[in-house]
Structures are given as structure tokens and as C-alpha cells.
A = this chain, B = another copy of it.
């Protein structure tokens, strides 16, 4: 399995922090890396509960996830719902997200030019860039289709401020 390298990195990380490699941590780590999609802490917890293996508590899932983020093995992102979603930072280096306001799906994309411009903007402001988070909110291809098929003119307002009935203009 090609996960050996990353697992070793994790074990090294634990060792460096004088933390122990417990059964739970291993299971959480493995399950999290097994998934190449975004998941919430709760989702991961459910997987661990439903699938066979050592019992793991929700608290430990949260704790370990936090550890993984600290160790840069995972990245967390707020997709707008009340919970954080996680994704591992294994192969793919960095990417930004398109979050569908309708189905919640998260697509990834990268644009080197955008990254570069961000850096340039930081230099201009004397800001030391550590990380960034770019989320494009809208409707994915599938939902667009559905919406137009349903004759939805523009999102219903419950979907956020997608279509306020006006745009206040301030005199400035």
C-alpha cells in the first residue's frame, strides 16, 4: 500500500510530539485517508461506528482530527453549513473550492494565476501569507440543470442571500 509513507509521517509526527500511536488514532487516520472526498467529523465518526473495527468515540474523532490538522495532514474548511469539513492533504497540494449552495457538493479547482496574484497582493500590503481559503459559492452544473428545469427563476431566498429583491445603493 502506498499509504505507508504518509502513515510513517504521521507516526513520526506523533513521536515528535511525544504522543502515542493508539489503535483509535490509527483507525481514524486510516479511514480519513481512505476517503478522497470532503467529510465532516460526524460523517467520519459514523463510518467508524458502522464499519467493523475498534470502537472509537466521537470525542476522539474530534481530538484526532484536530491533531491531523495541526500536523498538516488534513485541512479543514467551513463549507457554510454549521460544521467543518475535512480533506486530507496527501497527494494534491493545494486547491480551492466551489461549494454548491443547493446540494452542498464541493468541487475542487486550482488556478496558479490566482495564487500568484494573491501573493502579489500580500506583498503589496506587507502581509505575510501563511495560508488562504477561496470558496466560490453558487450552483453546480447538475443543480443548475435541475433548477432551470424546474423553472426556478433564481434561487428561493431560503438559500441565502442569493436573490435579494434589491440592491441598496449608498451614495458615496
Main secondary structure of the interface of A (DSSP, over half): mixed
Task: Give the number of copies in the complex.
Answer: 2
The answer to whether A17 touches B73, judged by C-beta atoms less than 8 angstroms apart, is no
User: Smallest Cβ distance from A133 to chain B, in angstroms?
Assistant: 5
Most buried by B among A101, A129, A130, A134: A130
Whether A49 sits at the interface, judged by CB under 8 Å, is no
Q: A166 to B11: give the CA distance in the assembly, Å.
A: 12
* In the complex, chain A residues 136-172 whose Cβ is within 8 Å of any chain B Cβ: 136-141, 144, 155, 157-158, 160-172
* In the complex, chain A residues 40-58 whose Cβ is within 8 Å of any chain B Cβ: none
- Tally of contact residues, A, Cβ under 8 A: 67
Contacts A13-B168, A167-B72, A170-B5 known; A128 to B107 CB distance under 8 Å?
A: no
Most buried by B among A69, A162, A164: A164
Q: A100 to B127: give the CA distance in the assembly, Å.
A: 8
